[in-house]
Amino acid sequence: MKAIVLLASALNLAGQVGLIRPQTPSADAQAQMTGKSSIEGTVVDSLSGQPVRKASVVLSGRMNLNAVTDTAGHFAFRLLLAGRYTIRASNDNYPESRNPVQAARTQLAVTVGEDEQKHDVHLELVPGASVSGRIADEEDNPMRGCAVSAMQFRETESGPLPVTMVSDQSDDKGEYRLTKLTRGKHYIMARCMQSVPLPHAFVPRSATSDLPSLVYPSRFYPGVSDRAAAARVDVTPGANLLGINLKMTPATGFTIRGHAAGIPSGPVQIFLEARDPSTRQWQLPYQRPRARINVQTGEFEIRNVAPGAYDLVASSSIESRVYYARVPVEVGATRPDPIDFALTEAPFVSGTISVEGDAKPPMNSLKVSLNPLDRQNLMLRPPQADVQSDGSFSFASIMPGHWRLLVNGGAAYLKSVTLGDRQVSANDLEIGASAVP
């Protein structure tokens, strides 16, 4: 057993490491590792019982191999060493389920002895369901180009977290079709980016003129804005549900204006993120309402903003430094007041790792990572820091929030964390707006 300790003047982290995971042999090494055992079987559709051709079958264990099924759904692994293996099947036409009962059908643990031939391995792939319908406006006209998603959520300490998502886009008739849905209850949500000009008198063209418009906020089936009031669609494997239609309700779109101070000499972006994770997590970058910015004066505006609760996010980066700001914004039935804020440099975290015990892995084989726990950082890629040969590491510009601190390499985990003079949890490390030296 080894212990890994992270020490810093303001950040002291200590942990223990389990057994080192065995490394996968190279291709040349595996070529020389042959036995006389074999594993054969078939992959079938769980509903029809028909063979699934071109299914990918992965064997892992003492040897790591891949196979593809033939027209009869048959696969075979030969010249295997005796031992315990895991076999897993997949196919692009079948969804990967997070349901443990369904997932168990696609994966098996198989043990073979010396010269043993197994011919009866049976794997099943569960077919997905489909949902189709139509997106229309308040006058029942078809709405083209709306992003339609089917989502399932998991409740977490930081709120509901989307765990599955299937998307499509409505066509010229406003029709959509979602396929490869897994078993369970799904929320269906539509996002339409269209805006419609409202009648207005002639106004002089200027950068500050507000032209009235109608926008279409996101809606859940059967046409509500609140996920708590939405109806979930229950699907079963192989089902084809029709008529899941959504009627979009317009609202007055407003222009958000303000001034950003502290803009560094680099590219800057300002945009709105919905606070509701059900409408935010799957929002693509180009779907976020973005600002027009005058980088000389810091003035910005975002047009056609639908009513709702948002975070105004501003970010800029120069080399390895990140500057940011996050301001809550409520858009209601009246024009919001101008917003003034300042960008500040994101804090940094640094420290040192020491390894205790007889079997010490090389320092430069370890990494330290920060996995986001709160909603505003969930879409970020977990930042990683390389550990130097002297055990030191550093993170530059870490967004404030709650993070899970991990040591990667050698199946390491953290036992305890001290932030300043406080004992805190490695599973929920809160980083504030100031740097941790």
Listed in sequence order, the residues at least 6 apart from 122 whose beta carbon sits closer than 8 Å to its beta carbon are 41, 42, 44
Tell which CATH classification among 3.50.50.60, 1.10.3720.10, 1.10.3470.10, 2.60.40.10 matches the domain 33-125: 2.60.40.10
Tell me, rounded to whole angstroms, the distance of Cα 384 from its chain centroid: 17
Among 204-208, 224-228, 243-247, 270-274, the minimum mean pLDDT is found in 204-208
Q: Is the pLDDT of residue 157 over 90?
A: no
Fold type of domain 129-200+207-249:
Immunoglobulin-like (2.60.40)
Nearest C-alpha neighbor of 217 from the set 245, 253, 187, 188: 253
For the chain, how many residues are written? 437
Q: How many Å apart are CA 298 and CA 261, to the nearest integer?
A: 6
Domain ranges of the chain: 2-20+347-431, 33-125, 129-200+207-249, 253-339
The one-letter code for the residue type at 210 is: D
Q: Is the pLDDT of residue 115 over 50?
A: yes
pLDDT per residue over 258-303, tens digit each? 999 888 777 888 888 887 765 555 455 556 788 889 888 889 998 8
Confidence of residue 321 (pLDDT cuts 50, 70, 90): confident
pLDDT per residue over 69-85, tens digit each? 999 999 999 999 999 99
* First-last CA distance in the chain: 30
Looking at per-residue confidence, does 192 or 14 come out higher? 192
Nearest C-alpha neighbor of 437 from the set 144, 74, 9: 9
Is 320 in contact with 395 (CB distance < 8 Å)? no
Looking at per-residue confidence, does 87 or 280 come out higher? 87
Most confident of 94-103, 195-204, 250-259, 315-324: 250-259
Q: How many Å apart are CA 374 and CA 392, to the nearest integer?
A: 27
Looking at per-residue confidence, does 432 or 267 come out higher? 267
Q: What's the pLDDT at 71?
A: 94
pLDDT per residue over 175-196, tens digit each? 999 999 988 899 999 988 887 7
- The percent of residues in the chain predicted with pLDDT above 90, rounded, is 31
For residues 131-152, give the mean pLDDT.
Answer: 93
Two structure tokens written together for 371: 């996995």
Q: How many Å apart are CA 220 and CA 231, to the nearest integer?
A: 8
Q: What's the pLDDT at 90?
A: 92
Q: How many Å apart are CA 191 and CA 219, to the nearest integer?
A: 7
Two structure tokens written together for 27: 């291709």
Looking at per-residue confidence, does 157 or 64 come out higher? 64
Q: What's the pLDDT at 435?
A: 46
Q: According to the 3-state scheme, what is the secondary structure of 104-161?
A: HHCEEEEEECCCCEEEEEEEEECCCEEEEEEEECCCCCECCCCEEEEEEEEEECCEEE
Looking at per-residue confidence, does 2 or 139 come out higher? 139
Tell me, rounded to whole angstroms, the distance of Cα 400 from its chain centroid: 19
pLDDT per residue over 344-380, tens digit each? 887 777 777 777 666 677 777 888 888 877 655 555 5
Two structure tokens written together for 389: 């040969």
Looking at per-residue confidence, does 144 or 101 come out higher? 144
* CA torsion through residues 92, 94, 95, 98, sign: negative
Domains 2-20+347-431 and 129-200+207-249 equal at CATH topology level: yes
Beta bridge partners of 40: 76
Beta bridge partners of 428: 425
Task: Specify the 3-state DSSP secondary structure of 170.
Answer: coil
Could you tell me how many helices (H) and strands (E) the chain has, helices first?
3, 36
Q: Is the pLDDT of residue 387 over 90?
A: no
Q: Is the pLDDT of residue 206 over 90?
A: no
Mean pLDDT of the chain: 78
Q: What's the pLDDT at 20?
A: 28
Among 63-67, 130-134, 350-354, 407-411, the minimum mean pLDDT is found in 407-411
- The residue to which tokens 């932030």 are assigned: 419
User: What is the β-pairing status of strands 83-90 and 56-61?
Assistant: antiparallel
* CA torsion through residues 279, 217, 330, 287, sign: positive
Q: How many Å apart are CA 414 and CA 292, to the nearest integer?
A: 44
For residues 380-395, give the mean pLDDT.
Answer: 78
For residues 305-328, give the mean pLDDT.
Answer: 82
Nearest C-alpha neighbor of 372 from the set 400, 344, 392: 400
Tell me, rounded to whole angstroms, the distance of Cα 294 from its chain centroid: 32
Listed in sequence order, the residues at least 6 apart from 334 whose beta carbon sits closer than 8 Å to its beta carbon are none
Q: What's the pLDDT at 389?
A: 84
Q: Is the pLDDT of residue 16 over 50?
A: no
What secondary structure letter does DSSP report for 51? B
Q: Is the pLDDT of residue 253 over 90?
A: no
- For the 253-339 domain, the top CATH level (class) is mainly beta
Is 360 in contact with 409 (CB distance < 8 Å)? no
Task: To the nearest 10°, report the CA torsion of 306, 311, 314, 315.
Answer: -120
Looking at per-residue confidence, does 188 or 28 come out higher? 188
Q: What's the pLDDT at 164?
A: 74
Two structure tokens written together for 8: 């810093």
Beta bridge partners of 210: none
Q: What's the pLDDT at 19?
A: 27
CATH of domain 2-20+347-431: 2.60.40
Q: How many Å apart are CA 191 and CA 274, to the nearest integer?
A: 12
Confidence of residue 52 (pLDDT cuts 50, 70, 90): very high
Q: What's the pLDDT at 399?
A: 72
pTM of the model: 0.65
Q: What's the pLDDT at 21?
A: 35
Q: What's the pLDDT at 412?
A: 53
For residues 394-414, give the mean pLDDT.
Answer: 70
- The percent of residues in the chain predicted with pLDDT above 70, rounded, is 74
Q: What's the pLDDT at 91?
A: 92
